[in-house]
């Protein structure tokens, strides 16, 4: 195994020099110009998509807001988190149960636990979903930035493109679409981008975008390439913007692109190959790939449209997507996701999976980069959280969470002795 680690590190170093010289690397390599990003540690940047929208009224300072994102009331599936099952666990709209129980995202103790755990495993940044000024996702951003800076990771925001989405946006013309997006992004940049905890590339703040889809009376429900030129021209300063998917007409106006969840090998390969080609042609600055453990939104019945399930097969899907994420030299790998419990893509420690995803990630990163592997420190933030949590938070922690926090090998989760499979 040591020989393989040395071979991988050597290939990363060689590929790095090739990219500095403007030469493309082979599809199985990952190496980028690490000086471009304001993160600690080796490149490519390892980031995780982060949901800041959960609320548990039992642990929240705003109990009147109710059970945000932990419940679901649909025609065929209902989950009522205010009730507990016979095993003492709450009935949440998810297929996995967080190791600290259903939490409130605004709690400093929760954020610190998340960020410290992520950093221990090798994650350098969180990409936080953001619905716009004044939204529920907006109020928590200052606290996320402050704690990111304190812990030593970075934050980037992911803007929802949904251009017709009352009460946030209800345009009456294409000009209003441009105006609203310009105002939203200007607000983001002016309020958050100068914070030392904000993620930057080439000294420009990084903003991701989730694409919308469909058409209505105003035409496509996407901001069009020419409209983006107008938006960028009116922003207070340059931004390193990263748009979802491979839509060539948006580049080079938009400098970055990223891949969201898929297990389609051909789609993954095409995205990386096409992106590298666009970079070599001068029509794209960088691209972001993805790795994910699984997908299962049966807890919310596919948001009412029927459940979608892509099994993880233990660590198989996570490892396969992680390896493919290195093709053609992306500057970032996005983990999909840290804590989207509704869509079942979480790598946050859970009762069902313990720390297996974070342990695996750290071992794989160690093989590729030489980063020291210390799996016990992945558990330290959980032990600290359990010790310092409020009484209400402690009441949410499952009784066997301490066992998972303190056992190093066979955690009794979905893959017994999983650490042995990583050797």
- pLDDT tens digit sequence for 239-294: 999 999 999 999 999 999 999 999 999 999 999 999 999 999 999 999 999 999 99
Q: Is the pLDDT of residue 15 over 60?
A: no
Residue of higher predicted confidence among 95 and 165: 95
Which pLDDT belongs to residue 416? 53
Q: How far apart are CA 390 and CA 43, in angstroms?
A: 37
Question: Could you give the residue ranges of the DSSP H alpha helices within 64-193?
Answer: 108-121, 141-151, 174-192
Which pLDDT belongs to residue 68? 95
Instruction: Please tell me the CATH code under which domain 2-421 is placed.
Output: 3.20.20.80
pTM above 0.85, yes or no: yes
Closest to 259 in 3D by CA, of 278, 272, 274: 272
Domain boundaries, the chain: 2-421
Q: Quote the Cα angle for 202-206-209, to 5°.
A: 145
Which pLDDT belongs to residue 423? 52
Which pLDDT belongs to residue 32? 45
Q: Is the pLDDT of residue 93 over 90?
A: yes
pLDDT range class, residue 42, cuts 50, 70, 90: confident
Closest to 410 in 3D by CA, of 420, 396, 397: 420
Q: Quote the Cα angle for 344-60-88, to 5°.
A: 55
Q: How many residues does the chain have?
A: 423
Residue of higher predicted confidence among 353 and 17: 353
Query: What does the pLDDT look like over 201-221, one tens digit per residue?
Result: 999 999 999 999 999 999 999
């Amino acid at each position: 195994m040591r020989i393989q680690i040395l071979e991988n590190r050597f290939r990363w170093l060689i590929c790095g020099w090739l990219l500095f010289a403007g030469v493309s690397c082979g599809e199985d390599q990952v190496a980028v110009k690490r000086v471009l990003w304001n993160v600690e540690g080796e490149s490519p940047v390892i980031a995780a998509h982060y949901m800041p929208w959960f609320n548990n009224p039992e642990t929240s300072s705003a109990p009147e807001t109710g059970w945000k994102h932990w419940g679901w009331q649909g025609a065929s599936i209902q989950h009522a988190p205010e009730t507990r099952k016979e095993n003492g666990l709450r009935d949440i709209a998810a297929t996995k149960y967080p190791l600290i129980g259903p939490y409130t995202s605004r709690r400093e103790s929760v954020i610190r636990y998340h960020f410290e755990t992520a950093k221990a495993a090798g994650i350098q940044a969180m990409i936080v979903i953001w619905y716009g000024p004044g939204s529920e996702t907006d109020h928590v951003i200052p606290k996320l930035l402050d704690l990111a800076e304190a812990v030593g990771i970075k934050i980037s925001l992911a803007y929802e493109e949904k251009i017709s989405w009352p009460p946030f946006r209800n345009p009456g013309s294409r000009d209003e679409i441009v105006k609203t997006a310009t105002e939203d992004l200007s607000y983001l940049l002016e309020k958050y981008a100068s914070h030392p905890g904000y993620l930057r590339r080439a000294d420009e703040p990084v903003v991701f975008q989730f694409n919308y889809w469909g058409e209505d009376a105003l035409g496509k429900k996407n901001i069009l390439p020419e409209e983006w030129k107008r938006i960028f021209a009116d922003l207070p300063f340059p931004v390193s913007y990263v748009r979802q998917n491979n839509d060539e007409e948006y580049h080079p106006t938009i400098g970055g692109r990223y891949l969201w969840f898929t297990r389609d090998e051909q789609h993954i390969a095409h995205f990386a190959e096409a992106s590298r080609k666009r970079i070599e042609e001068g029509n794209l600055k960088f691209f972001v790939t993805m790795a994910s453990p699984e997908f299962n939104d049966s807890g919310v019945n596919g948001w009412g449209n029927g459940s979608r399930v892509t099994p993880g097969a233990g660590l198989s899907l996570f490892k396969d997507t992680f390896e493919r994420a290195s093709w053609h030299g992306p500057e970032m790998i996005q983990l999909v996701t840290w804590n989207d419990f509704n869509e079942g893509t979480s790598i946050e420690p859970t009762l069902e999976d313990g720390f297996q995803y974070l342990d695996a990630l750290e071992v794989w990163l160690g093989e590729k980069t030489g980063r020291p592997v210390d799996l016990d420190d992945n558990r330290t933030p959980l032990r600290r959280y359990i010790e310092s949590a409020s009484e209400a938070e402690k009441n949410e922690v499952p009784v066997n969470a301490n066992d998972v926090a303190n056992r190093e090998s066979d955690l009794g989760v979905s893959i017994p002795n999983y650490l042995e499979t990583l050797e």
